[in-house]
Amino acid sequence: MSPTDSSRPAARPSRAPNARLAGLLYLVPMFCGPFSMMYVPSTIVVPGDAAATAANLVASEGLFRLGMLSDSVIVVAEVVLTAMLYVLLRPAGRTLALAATFARLGMTVLQAVNLLPQLAALQLVGGAAYLAAFDVGQRQALALLSLHVHDVGVHVWEIFFGLHCLLLGVLIFRSGFFPRTFGVLMGIASFGYALNGLGNLVAPGSAPVFAAIVGIAALVGEVPFVLWLLIKGVDASRWQDADQRSMRMFPVTVPAAG
C-alpha cells in the first residue's frame, strides 16, 4: 500500500443510524423507572418506621426483587442506548458527543452500583445465621438505612444525567438533522434533573418541590425528542451530510500494511 493510500479516509456508513431503535430503547427507562423508583418504594417503605418497612419487605419480597430486575433492565438498555446516541449525534460534534457519552455511562454505572443497598436490605431482613450478632431492631434499622442510601444514590446519578441532557441538547441544537427546539427543551430537562439531584443532596426537606420540577422538566424536555425518534427517525441525507463534514474535519486514517 502506498503512503497516499494510508491516509485515505475510512469508508463511511451508507445510511443513518437507526434512530427509531434508539427511541424504543429510550422507552425502557421511561416505563420501567416509575415502577422501580416510585411504585415499589411507595408500597414497601414506611418513612421513619423500620419495623413496618422490614415487615413489608418480607411480605412483598417478590415485588421488591421485581423492582430490582426492572432497574437491571434499565442499566442494560442504557449501555446500548448510550452507544447509539453517540453514533447518532457524533456528526454534531465529536468531543461533545464523547463527553455526553461519558456522562451517561457514569450515570449508568452509578445506577448499577445503587442496586447494592437494596440487596443489603434484603439480606438484613432475611434472617441469616451470621446476623444473630444484631438484634431484630438493629437489623430492621439497618435495612431502612440501606433503602435510604439507595434513595440518596438516585440523586447522585441524576446529576450525571443532568449533565448528559445539557450536552445532548447542545448536540441536537447543532445537528441540523433534528429540530433545534428539541435542543432547547432538552436543556430544560437538564435543569430539572440537576436541580432535583443537587437540591435533594443540599436541601432534602424540599424534596416534593424538586420532584414536581423534575417531572415537568422531563415531560417537556425529553418526551418530544423521544416521540420524534420513534415517529420521524432521522433524515438520512442530512445526517450523512453532517457526518461527511465531520469526517473532513476529523479524518480517520487507515494504517499502512506491513
- Written as one string, the DSSP assignment of 156-217 is HHHHHHHHHHHHHHHHHHHHSSS-HHHHHHHHHHHHHHHHHHHHHHH-GGGHHHHHHHHHHH
Q: What pLDDT sits at residue 251?
A: 54
SS3 of residue 9 by DSSP: strand
Instruction: Write the pLDDT tens digit of every residue in 97-150.
Output: 999 999 999 999 999 999 999 999 999 998 787 888 889 999 999 999 999 999
The pLDDT of residue 27 is: 94
Question: Quick one: pLDDT at residue 141?
Answer: 95
pLDDT at site 6: 46
Query: Residue 201: what pLDDT?
Result: 87
Provide the β-strand partners of residue 253: 9
- Do the beta carbons of residue 50 and residue 143 sit within 8 Å? yes
pLDDT-wise least confident of 2-6, 18-22, 74-78, 161-165: 2-6
Q: Phi/psi of residue 137, each to 5°?
A: -60, -40
Return d(Cα 19, Cα 85) in angstroms, integer. 8
Other Cβ atoms closer than 10 A to 113 = 13
Q: Is the pLDDT of residue 74 over 80?
A: yes
- Helices 180-202 and 136-175, axial angle in degrees (round to 10): 150
257 in the Ramachandran plot: left (φ > 0), alpha (ψ -120 to 50) or beta? beta
pLDDT digits (tens, 9 = 90+) for 12-47: 444 567 889 999 999 999 999 999 999 999 999 999
**pLDDT at position 177 over 60:** yes
Planar angle of CA 247, 252, 256, nearest 5 degrees:
150
Q: Which three cell numbers stand for residue 143?
A: 435495612
Q: What is the mean pLDDT of the chain?
A: 87
The Cβ-side half-sphere exposure at 16, using a 13 Å CA radius, reads 24
Residue 157 has pLDDT above 90, yes or no: yes
Q: What is the pTM of this model?
A: 0.84
Q: Where are the beta strands (DSSP E) in the chain?
A: none
Least confident of 135-149, 199-213, 224-238: 199-213
